[in-house]
Amino acid sequence: MADTSHRFYDMHAHGFVRVATSTPCVRTGDVAYNTKGVISEAKRAHQCKVDLLVYPELCLSSYAIDDLHLQNALLDRVEQAVSEVIEASADLTPVLVVGAPLRRNSKLYNCALVIAGGELLGVIPKSYLPNYREFYEKRYFAHGRNCQDLWIAVAGEEVPFGTDQVFAASNLPGFTFGVEICEDFWSPNPPGTLAALAGAHILCNLSASPITIGRAEDRHLHCRSSSSRSICAYVYSASGHGESTTDLAWDGQGVVYEMGGLLAESVRFDLSPELCIVDIDTDKIAGERMRNQTFSDAAEAHDRPEDSFRRIVFEHAYKEGDIGLMRPVRRFPFVPDNAKTLDEDCYEAFNIQVDALMRRIQATKPESLVLGISGGLDSTHALIVAAKACDRLGLPRTTIRGYTMPGFGTSDTTRSNAWKLMEAMGITAEEIDIKPAAKLMLDDINHPFAGGEPHYDVTFENVQAGLRTDYLFRLAGHHNGFVIGTGDLSELALGWCTYGVGDHMSHYGVNSGVPKTLIRYLIRWTIETGQFSDACCEVLQAVYDTVISPELVPAGEDGEMQSTESMIGPYELNDFFLHHTIRYGQRPGKVAFLAYHAWREASAGLWPAGFPEHRKNEYDLGEIARWLESFLKRFFTFSQFKRSAMPNGPKVSSGGALSPRGDWRAPSDSVADVWLEELRTSLPDGTLPSD
């Protein structure tokens, strides 16, 4: 059993903040009852180690009470309730964002109160008051749009009042948030946007929002849009059962989005109080803003809100140690878990590749398309992309010239699959045995293998890879065509390709933006959607089931074939590392933390739709750390020079590509020391063998 007391296991150390929406028990206009419900949910959130708890709009008084908002007895009781909540918060972990009507200077405001550790930190008034259809808020409330740099007396204290506030935890750098209220984010210019530009990583929305058909989806639209546009997390909490149903109804919807992606959603129309809890990655949000210069430009264009907003700093009493990670972490970042999304992604990925190749064919007008067909995943996928491109352009599939080139390690299975595939596709198919030429070259360079020794080093492998590519380029010239590359994104990341030859070089690399884990699913998708004939699909299934191998070394005495993943690590882990490294620039220690929660238990969490049971692997922290260390060495130290000279090829995934003309630019002579050191210092002692 691992000692989880180490800081590595604390999600806060990796920039996570636990947030929750609350739908408390409320009763129309019953302030005492409502206060009890608010405090009860705060205590429950405390037990769940929540850092930030967002309640519905006007939850202390109730929202749908019309002219009762203007009754002094009720407003006096609300102020007393605020004191009770403040007092109750003294020994609780969560920062509470509570809704209440408050008076200031003979005006009544619809407010959000930020309470933490027995203190009222600030009050934010609602900026936009709906006064159309079923809404009459201007009858009761004053708007807060112009309230900046003001103070308000509440519960015997003067606290900041206004829309110009961002709240920040002094001891958790990423924990910064701003607040807007219901209608504010329905407006064309939501005030939360300015709070985000001022530095808030999380936006909270206290909402009442009566439910009508289609409104729940509208809320999703606005939350997703706000979180995407403002590069933030968006925490939305709407009123539920207990509000007045005189003319309206309430569903208690709570949703949490992060940078456009839905993380969590509450059960709607629930009679019981509910907490919708999830962990927000504020570190990822900060990193994305740093990369996105449009965000910085927008802040400058709006007179740098960070200079005018008040930054309300507090010390957060968060729960230290291993509190788990309440957040979906996809095992396969390039492969969605949801079946519908997976189908859409495969459709787009496949058609991006096909369309890109079609444009290259139209531009160069080749007489042939030359492909090396090994019977493995990558060359198979490149072939089906080429076949579909020919079909759409009205070219005969015989335009594709496929060559299987068996070497010293080629298995009967892959050679047979290569021939079956080429024949089923109806392309021009030939075979060139490269062993005689390879023996000649090995003899010319005085390699031990030429003298009869079983010496299978990198040179032995590269002679075969180089000859295959050399043949393909000469064949392309001979048949007035161009070579379609088969190398994929994962191999480029790891440098698992022979420079200038092998999978590294081609005239056009259709797979260069597609990781290995997605290629497997794309092949499966072409089978399930009937992109090709039944005969083709039968061979494609056989390729899908084949173990990944370069097949450059003869099989051992036990018949075991050379395994790529035993040498460079499981592609499912390497693709995980790659995504979090190039897309978000995450620290290696955090990548290890995420991988640990994604992969440590095969029976937990979601798998992509239809994922084979026998392929459902799990890895402990030691295995994850070992392969991550290997990935860092390969990616940062000795693979970049290959990427700096890679052929053209389409970017496919928003997760990134490695072309120096696209997503990734890096020096070829860098070292991995910074990343390796960060990994070692982040992990518990003894995790890596050399510790």
Cβ contacts of 43 within 8 Å, gap of 6 or more:
88, 92
184: three-class secondary structure by DSSP: helix
Check the CA dihedral 42-45-46-49 and report its sign.
negative
Q: Whose CA is closest to 35, among 103, 95, 89?
A: 89
Q: Whose CA is closest to 35, among 2, 5, 77, 66?
A: 77
- For residues 261-274, b (16+ Cβ closer than 10 Å) or e, as one string? eebbbbebeeeebb
Give the span between the Cα atoms of 453 and 463, in whole angstroms.
16
Site of tokens 């459902």:
616
| Tokens, residue 390 | 């020919």
**Active site residue ranges:** 57, 126, 182
Beta-sheet pairing, 119-125 with 107-116: antiparallel
Annotated binding site: 132, 209, 215, 372-379, 462, 486, 491, 496-499, 642
Q: Whose CA is closest to 387, among 538, 544, 543, 533?
A: 533
| Tokens, residue 46 | 């405390």
Annotated binding site for L-glutamine: 132, 209, 215
| Tokens, residue 501 | 């030859």
Tell me the CA distances in angstroms from 173 to 14, 423, 642, one per residue in order: 11, 60, 38
Beta bridge partners of 400: 369
Give the span between the Cα atoms of 663 and 366, in whole angstroms.
29
Beta bridge partners of 257: 234, 262
Phi, psi of 318 (to 5 degrees): -80, 160
Q: Which alpha helices (DSSP H) does 247-376 contain, by range?
A: 282-291, 293-301, 305-308, 339-364
| Tokens, residue 114 | 């930020």
| Tokens, residue 657 | 């590509």
Cβ contacts of 492 within 8 Å, gap of 6 or more:
512, 639, 642, 643, 646, 658
Q: Residue 27 in contact with residue 273, Cβ under 8 Å?
A: no
Give the span between the Cα atoms of 457 and 419, in whole angstroms.
29
Give the span between the Cα atoms of 621 and 593, in whole angstroms.
8
The continuous run of DSSP H or E covering 37 comes out as helix 31-47
Give the span between the Cα atoms of 609 and 600, in whole angstroms.
20
Annotated binding site for ATP: 372-379, 486
Site of tokens 């639209």:
221
Cβ contacts of 413 within 8 Å, gap of 6 or more:
375, 546
